[in-house]
Amino acid sequence: MMPAYAPVTICAIATAPGRGGVGVIRISGSALLSFAQAISGGKTPKPRYATYTDFVAADGSAIDNGLLLYFPGPNSFTGEDVIELQGHGGPVVMNMLLARCVELGARLAEPGEFTKRAFLNDKLDLAQAESVADLIDAASESAVRGALKSLKGAFSHEIHQLTDELITLRMLVEATLDFPDEEIDFLEAADAVGKLGRLRGSLERVQGTARQGAILREGMHVVLVGQPNVGKSSLMNALAGDEVAIVTDIAGTTRDTVREEIVIDGVPVHVIDTAGLRETTDVVERIGIERTWQAVERADVALVLVDSREGVTAEVNAILERLPVGLPRIFVFNKIDLANEAAGESEENGQTIVRLSAHTLQGVDILRARLLALIGFSGASEGVYLARERHLDAIRRASHHLEMAAEIWQQVELFAEELRLAQNALSEITGEFTPDDLLGVIFSRFCIGK
């Protein structure tokens, strides 16, 4: 079985830049046995066995020595013939060996081109291909496990199941179009509406898991806002477990946004400490305040810090009025050690309040748990596969079309069209229905050599 298209031979250094004990060069193309023989000085490697050899220049002199592995297509990562050269990991020797590959007719691979070829040759679907990059970029152990589940096809399996159910429903609906006088009775007898309802329920369940997977991949952005000297920097240090922000009793100490990435129960959290919000004539502080509001616009959650001794003042209410309407928020009453209050969590007037001390760390764990609960993350990531915003957008569009289908099911032609659009949206996730320009964007973000 040959690849789905005639490939140009490509090559790249597949290991990270810099010095290392081992360096790997990957080559992919068609009919690469002669290529392997040329670079090994005439040896004929046994497929899928490691061959110890010199890697030679055009004049026969050795560039390096190491292991050569030859994987004839289609039984390889890309579905083409693949060669891996495992030599010493010095940047000079690696570049000399790469230049020799180009001399033998290969060209330098583009970012993600090996994985793109695996996708084009049906070795991976698009969701699995994306999980290769996610596995490399994973910022926590939970993200690694989620990416590996996606790579092994767990997410794709869910999407294929939904798509198969959609196709079955579409076949049922399309069949009624040939009998316009009986189509409604036919759909009612076949329980088309019930099937659609169950399909929507399954999609909602997958959407919830995918949303948690997206949180694992992207992390959540938490912005700390409040008046000067309420303890934003102290809380950031408490959450980070390190002195990442300067803390003093002087109002206005933080004049710019300070960012730190932490992990809470396996979830990456990007915490952004901001300048205290107040009226000021200080030019530098005003710039910091402007950046604070920019950070607020991009945040997933706002922690509104309040001094427990003062409560919600007119100045705090002025800050609340400027927060985006749909932005989730948690009121953090800080400095309970100075107010002789106990740590805890409560609901008041529909608002979540966490009382803590960033100085003594009382109640900080309560805040961590509340942050995860607010974004709908259960904390149990074993069954979660990694997902991207692209996937969530496709699921949202599919859900919208199924909702429309439920409303107009008695208008059978429109019903059928909404089902078709829902199927197309889901098929974008696995790449069965994907514009070529989207493929270019996706794979351009991969490492070279993957």
Please check whether residue 268 is in contact with residue 140, taking contact to mean a CB–CB distance below 8 angstroms. Answer: yes
Residue range 151-178: average pLDDT?
85
The answer for residues whose C-beta is within 8 angstroms of residue 195's C-beta and 6 or more apart is 165, 168, 169, 172
pLDDT tens for 340-360 read: 999 999 888 888 899 999 889
In whole angstroms, give the CA distance from residue 219 to residue 303. Answer: 16
Tell me how far the alpha carbon of residue 221 is from its chain's centroid: 14
**What pLDDT does residue 445 have?**
63
In whole angstroms, give the CA distance from residue 51 to residue 49. Answer: 6
Q: Given the DSSP bridges, would you call strands 10-13 and 107-108 parallel, antiparallel or unpaired?
A: parallel
Banded model confidence at residue 426, pLDDT cuts 50, 70, 90: very high
Average pLDDT over all residues of the chain: 82
Query: Percent of the chain beyond pLDDT 70?
Result: 82
Most confident option among 4-8, 283-287, 431-435: 431-435
Domains of the chain: 10-120 (3.30.1360.120), 132-216+385-444 (1.20.120.430), 219-374 (3.40.50.300)
**What pLDDT does residue 42 have?**
92
**What pLDDT does residue 32 have?**
94
Banded model confidence at residue 289, pLDDT cuts 50, 70, 90: low
On whether the pTM is more than 0.85, the answer is no
* Least confident stretch, 16-20, 70-74, 155-159, 203-207: 16-20
Please measure the distance between the N-terminal and C-terminal CA atoms of the chain and give it in whole angstroms. Answer: 23
Please check whether residue 155 is in contact with residue 210, taking contact to mean a CB–CB distance below 8 angstroms. Answer: yes
At residue 274, does pLDDT exceed 70? no
At residue 67, does pLDDT exceed 90? yes
- Exposure of 227 in the CB half-sphere (CA atoms within 13 A): 17
